[in-house]
Amino acid sequence: MTTKNELHDKDLPRKLMLPPAEDLGFYRKGDILQQALYRFVLDEKYSSRSFRGDVLWALNEAYYQCARIFDDPSPESDIFGNYLFSVEPADGGHGTTGVSEKGYFVFCLVYIALSVQASLPESVNIFRNYLRPLLSGCPYYEKAEEYIRRIRGNNVPLCSDLAPKPNPFIAYYCKDIETVTDGFDLKTVIRILRRCRTKDYQHAFLNMVENSFYRLNPREKPASAKPDDIPF
């Protein structure tokens, strides 16, 4: 079992897993799901006054966790250790579980997002089914179920793209390829390359890694030409 706050080994670096929205307009003017989650957070912050966190943080964190779930081949293996405990250190938690209030809040958003999709991969659907009873006693659960019924009532099947969207140009703007790749760790580089959605993104990211590495380690630069394509 994974220890508290320990992320599973398959995670992409957070900066590349899913670029966070920079302002609330992204959600306020977004698709049906984004707008619904935006309203849910505002309702809980101002109407019920039960959520005391930052609105943009909560929304970004929920979408990041969705990306992690879709990227994990077996997300149901340890929902507490890999997910509920990963949001932040427990702040007293709810009941005896040790999950922080923000952890419960974020995963109620995740539960809404997963529950209104027209279809889910089998592993994600299993995760959702086991997540539900873990949330049922928290202060946000009933409101989450209400929002699910409301979204489903629109009779518009949702097919939201909740999977990771690794984009090498995010790494470029971060100006810190060494950190993104965990110190040019080969396994991390390969994980990122495998998840880039196009060959162009793969080549762009690999070029950034090479340029950054050889700029920091000029004596390591080989004289031979690099291969024409990525072998996977």
Rounded-to-integer distance, Cα 160 and Cα 130, Å: 21
In this prediction, residue 212 carries a pLDDT of 86
Domain ranges of the chain: 14-152, 168-220
The closest alpha carbon to 13, from 173, 201, 221, 177, belongs to 177
Mean pLDDT in consecutive groups of 10 residues from the start of the chain, 232 residues: 41 71 94 95 90 94 93 92 82 59 96 95 97 94 95 81 68 66 85 77 84 86 63 56
Residue count of the chain, please give it.
Answer: 232
Residue type, 110: V
In this prediction, residue 112 carries a pLDDT of 97
Taking CA atoms, 228 is separated from 38, 124, 139, 216, in Å, by 45, 36, 55, 24
In this prediction, residue 7 carries a pLDDT of 40
In this prediction, residue 3 carries a pLDDT of 39
